[in-house]
Chains A and B, each alone.
Chain A
Amino acid sequence: MSITAPQRDLFEQVAIIDPESGELIDDEIYSPYLADIGDTDLREIYRDLVVVRRLDAEATALQRQGQLGLWAPLAGQEAAQIGSARGLRPSDFVFPSYREHGVAYVRGVDPAVVLRMWRGTTLAGWNPRDVNMMTPAIVIGPHMLFAVGYGMGILRDKTLNSAVDDIVIAYCGDGGTSQGDFSEALGFAASFRTPTVFFVQNNQYAISSPVGIQATVPIVQRAAGFGVHGIRVDGNDVLAVLAVTRHAAERARAGDGPTLIEAVTYRMGPHTTSDDPTRYRDAAELEFWRQRDPIDRLRLVLDRRGLADQEFLASVDETADRYAAEVREACIATPDPDPISLFDNVYATETALLAEERTDFADLHGLDLQGSGE
């Protein structure tokens, strides 16, 4: 079975929710991917959007209060993250960048665990094997290639067991598309026809650099030159993002190869808590995007269908507040790591040099080596 779709005009963004009326636009290719989405699903998706925004705000507050060293806010990108993550199966594998807190949430990573890396108590946080999601990639570029290699592994597994139909998705930003690794990843993916979805959140900025510095045409157009299927989607339309991700995933599962999705969205907050966006963008621009808030967009759909009654909205707020309180408490209670853990897991078996340094370190700090990692 081949899931071919005509290559659309790549300046056009796939949209499902009419931003005026909240009606669902009937899209020949993509609407069928939403056939199973009923009222309950719409409400749960809405809940996810609100919860991750609330958690994001809590994390920013925790950083301001000195509980985190740094935080990279996702505000504005909830639909791109929740929509895409919900388009995957638990057995699919995710290679995130560093801002995919919403994706981690959908994968079932405890939000308090997400904060640990930003608190500085660990370099990563969760066990990637538990949730089929790698820990954050801070260096921009390399993990796009991992997602291609992982896909090559899936294809190889398939030759041994035809039931294997996992796919893999990699996230990066508009800035990330300028790295050589990004282009190499597209080339390899097309060449080996890997079941890889490249999900680019074009949030208009790479720190202070507007997307025009990275690309003078829509980023999605890069796909064609490599022979990769491309889709440009309104990244603030959670249903459109869900539909295109399901479509790309289905193509990948069917052996039709890689897809590059460009989700057009906006980073409403600073790049990180260290950044001052007033140095490079103005209030009018922010306001323009506030009018296109991804949560408001889905709310239109709920309102139109009478799904956003007081009781429901109160329960959403309650969930968000409860999660935020739990995360705050867990974050503050996170203990500092054991100093001797510096020496753990550098190699599968400890080298003589490390063993010597470990002993010297223990002496210097008056630590008992009994019971330490190795």
Chain B
Amino acid sequence: MTTLTMAKALNEGLRRSLGDDDRVMVMGEDVGRLGGVFRVTDSLQSEFGADRVIDTPLAESGIIGTAIGLAIRGYRPVCEIQFDGFIYPAFDQIVSQLAKIRHRTDGAVSVPLTIRVPFGGGIGAVEHHSESPEAYFAQTAGLRVVSCSSADDAYSMIQDAIRSDDPVLFFEPKRRYWDKAEVDLDGVTSLGLETARVLREGTDITVVAYGPMVATALAAANEAEGTSVEVIDLRSLSPIDFDTIERSVLKTHRLVVVHEASVFLGLGAEIAARITERCFFQLEAPVLRVGGYATPYPASKLEQYFLPDVDRVLDTIERSMAVE
């Protein structure tokens, strides 16, 4: 076991994928010489060469479009979008092309592309550097959407994403890049891309979170006095592992979903609807959601008010528990 930050664990995961399969390539703005603005691709170019770790022109649609071409040619590109708010120039390529090529070609052409996106707020950044656009992609059929929450999981998850024959949107919680965990670099087992993981067992209420909010949910669970909180890291945002959530809710009878993205039409809405369908008679309170407001992401001096924090999660847990 080695203690690594999440950024370093992702770096090691990418290194291993590049080493294991010479069809894997890394491409994006500043990913080569600089090693990426968060250093997630640090020193990969010097190790694997500038033809496999490519500094691209400044054009997101170009990055994804050319990566699709590389994938059709048989490569496995891993694209970095520098920040969440800069993925939209590539939206057309992702939604109208990347997601649909397998279906359109009756399964003849698969596009095994991984798109890494540092996402979410909490780092005091200027506009367009703190967004949570995952729902746009989760709603698009043909894309897998995942988010890691810790260094240990990130290491295997990025490798699983690269191995996937489907396109994967890989959301990395940028404010957790520097959080450390024990990582098994020789590890061969992984949870796969589709399963949620119960991180903390509890009996009174279930809290589902993903990406940056997992740490927040765990902290809230630890502070919830007199309430036993089960915390689930969703991991896969599309598809969603409803079975794991259902099992937990059948035990706790209460559910709170937490994400940074706006509550309105966020992933929480889908989870609430499905779990209500599955567990209607077992639920003791409506499924509650904690998330961003229905406003644009604010200037950094206000982000503490926008982002769900431990207090808001606790407040929501209390509201749920208060329902008799």
Contact = CB atoms under 8 A, between A and B. Distances in A.
Give the dominant DSSP class at B's interface. loop
A279 B42 CA distance: 11
B57 A178 contact: yes
A209 B62 contact: no
Contacts of A343: 293, 295
B315 interface: yes
Contact of B55 (A176, A208, A353): A208
Contacts of B298: 123, 342
A140 B128 CA distance: 11
A69 B126 contact: yes
B300 A69 contact: yes
Contacts of B57: 175, 178, 209, 213-214
Given A343-B293, A346-B294, A279 B35 contact: yes
Interface string B125-151: 111110000000000000000000000
Contact of B301 (A98, A279, A336, A357): A336
Interface in B269-300: 293-296, 298-300
A357 B35 contact: no
B305 interface: yes
Interface string A344-361: 001000010110010001
Interface in A11-25: none
Contact of B89 (A175, A180, A337): A180
A122 B299 CA distance: 5
Interface stretch (A112-120, A258-266, A311-319, A325-333): A112-120
Interface residues of B, number: 37
Contacts, number: 113
A208 B41 CA distance: 14
B166 interface: no
Given A214-B58, A279-B35, A339-B302, A69 B295 contact: no
Contacts of A120: 124, 126, 299-301
Contact of B29 (A122, A206, A274): A206
Nearest to B294: A353
Interface string A262-276: 000000000000100
B299 A121 contact: yes
B312 interface: yes
Given A279-B35, A280-B33, A180 B61 contact: yes
B85 interface: yes
Contacts of A121: 299, 301
B257 to A, nearest CB: 17
A364 interface: yes
Contacts of B89: 139, 141, 179-181
Nearest to A183: B59
B126 A357 contact: no
Interface residues of A, number: 43
Contact of A209 (B29, B85, B88): B29
Contacts of A80: none
A365 interface: yes
B178 interface: no
B30 A69 contact: no
Nearest to A181: B89
Contact of B34 (A123, A176, A208, A336): A208
A352 to B, nearest CB: 10
B301 A119 contact: yes
Nearest to B124: A69
B126 A118 contact: yes
Given A123-B127, A207-B34, A214-B58, A139 B86 contact: yes
Interface string B155-167: 0000000000000
B126 A209 contact: no
Contacts of A351: 294
A121 B299 CA distance: 6
Nearest to B85: A139
Contacts of B59: 178-180
B171 interface: no
Contacts of B294: 346, 351, 353-354, 357
B56 interface: yes
Interface string B204-228: 0000000000000000000000000
Contacts of B306: 342
B191 interface: no
Contact of B30 (A98, A118, A209, A361): A209
A155 interface: no
Nearest to A182: B59
A122 to B, nearest CB: 5
Contacts of B129: 138
A215 to B, nearest CB: 8
A297 B295 CA distance: 48
Given A138-B129, A361-B305, 4 more contacts: A98-B126, A179-B59, A279-B33, A357-B295
Interface of B: 29-30, 33-35, 37, 55-59, 61-62, 85-86, 88-89, 124-129, 264, 293-296, 298-302, 305-306, 312, 315
22 contacts: A69-B125, A69-B300, A70-B125, A120-B299, A175-B58, A180-B89, A206-B30, A209-B30, A209-B58, A214-B57, A279-B33, A279-B35, A336-B301, A337-B299, A337-B301, A342-B302, A343-B293, A343-B295, A354-B294, A357-B293, A357-B294, A361-B305
* Ranked 3 nearest A-B pairs via Cβ: A120-B300, A208-B34, A178-B57
